[in-house]
Amino acid sequence: MAIKSKKKLVENIIHGVFLVLGLVTVGCVLLITVYLIVSGIPAIREIGLIDFLFGKEWASTAAEPKYGILPFILTSIYGTAGAIVIGVPIGFFTAVYLAKQAPTKFKAVMESAISLLAGIPSVVYGFVGMMVLVPGIRKVFNVPDGASLLAAIIVLAVMILPSIIKVSMTALEAVPKEYEDASLALGATPVETYFRVSVPAAKSGIATAVVLGVGRAIGEAMAVMMVSGNAANMPSLFQSVRFLTTAVSSEMAYSSGLQQQALFSIALVLFLFIMLINATLNFFLKGQKEGT
C-alpha cells in the first residue's frame, strides 16, 4: 500500500510539473502585457492621451519637448496599407497558380523558394533595400533622398509575400475537389473554376493570410529602419518617415526620463494594434473552422 501511494505521489508531482511548464506560456503573455501597460501609462498620463495620440509633432530632444505620435501611427497605417495593396495581389495570384495550375515540379521549386524568402533575416531585406531600392528611388523619381515611405512599402510588400502565398495556398488546396469537378462538369473552364469556385470557397483562409500579412508588416522594425530614413515627418510617399516600431528602436539607445517612458507608451500603442489584429485573425480562423 505504501508503495502505491508513493507512486501516486510521484505521478501527481510530475503532473504538477507539466502543468507549470504549460502555464509558462500564459505567464509570458501576462508578463509582456503587464510590463507594457505599467511602463507605458505614466508618459501618457503626463503628456495627456489626446496630445499623445493626436499630436502632430514629435520633438523629444528639443528644449521644449513635444510628444505627439500621430505621424508614427499614420505612417504605420499607410505603410502597412501600401504593402498590402502591392503584396496581396501578387501573393494571391501566385498562390492560385501554384495551388491549382502549376506542374508538380515547378510547384515544388517555387514552394522551397518561398520558404527561403520567409527565412531570410529582416536585416538582409533592409540591407538590400538600402543598397538597391533607396538609390533606385532617388534616381527614378528624382528626389533628394530615396530613404522614404515608398522604399519601406516595397520592402514590406516583399516581406509579407511568403506568409500570404503559403496561407492562401493551404486554404486553396483544402477546397473539396467535388466543388471544382461540379463546376468543370457544368462547362466552366479550369481558370474560371479556380477564380469563381475555389477562391470563394477558400475566402476565409485568404482573409486570414491578409490579416497575417498586416500583422507582420506593422510589427517589422529592422528592415524598415534601414530604408525609411527615420525622420518624424507626417507620412508622404517620398519623404523620410518613422514607423511606430522604428520610433521605439531609434531612440531607445540614448533615451531617459520622460522621453524613454514615451517610447514605452509607443510600444503600448503598437501592442494594442497587434492585439486588435490578433482578434481579427481569431475571428477569421473561427469562421474557417465552422466553414469546413
Partner 1 sequence: MQHNPLPARRKAYIGTMRMLMWISVAIAGALVLFLVGYVLVKGIPNITWELLSTKPSYLDGTIGILPNILNTVYIILATLVVVLPLGVGAAIYLTEYAGNQKIVGMIEYAAETLSGIPSIIYGLVGMLFFCQFMNMQTSLLAGSLTLVIMNLPTIMRTTQESLKTVPQSYREGAFGLGAGKWRVIRTVVLPGCVDGIVTGCILAIGRILGESAALLFTAGFAHALNGLFDGLTSAGATLTVALYVYAKEQGEFDVAFAIAAILMVLTVLVNLCAALVGKYFKRKNSV
- 222-251 positions binding partner 1, by CB under 8 A: 222, 225-226, 245, 248-249
**Single-letter amino acid code for the residue at 142:** N
126 binds partner 1 (CB under 8 A): yes
Q: Which residue number, 14 or 59, has a Cβ lying nearer to partner 1?
A: 14
Q: Which long-range contacts (CB under 8 A, 24 or more apart) does 191-195 make?
A: 191/101, 194/96, 194/100, 194/101, 195/96
Q: Which of 84, 96, 151, 169 binds partner 1 (CB under 8 A)?
A: 96
Nearest to 251 by CA among 67, 109, 122, 112: 67
- Per-residue contact string for residues 143-182; x = within reach of partner 1 by CB under 8 A: ---------------x--x---x-----------------
CB of 64 to partner 1, least distance (A): 27
- Identified binder of partner 1 from the candidate list 5, 25, 104, 142, rule CB under 8 A: 25
Q: Of 61 and 101, which CB lies nearer to partner 1 in the complex structure?
A: 101
Q: How far is the CB of 3 from partner 1 (least distance, A)?
A: 12
Asked if 89 interacts with partner 1 (CB under 8 A), we say yes
Residues 6+ away with beta carbon under 8 Å from 169: 95, 98, 99
Quote the CA–CA distance of 184 and 112 in Å, as a whole number: 30
Q: Which three cell numbers stand for residue 194?
A: 479556380
One residue of 81, 132, 182, 272 binding partner 1 per CB under 8 A? 132
How many CB atoms are closer than 10 A to CB 272?
13
Q: By CB under 8 A, what part of segment 37-56 binds partner 1?
A: 39
Residues in CB range of 143: below 8 A, 6 or more apart? 137, 238
Kindly tell me which residue out of 7, 45, 56, 286 binds partner 1, with binding defined by CB under 8 A.
7
In total, the chain counts a number of residues equal to 292
Q: How far is the CB of 180 from partner 1 (least distance, A)?
A: 15
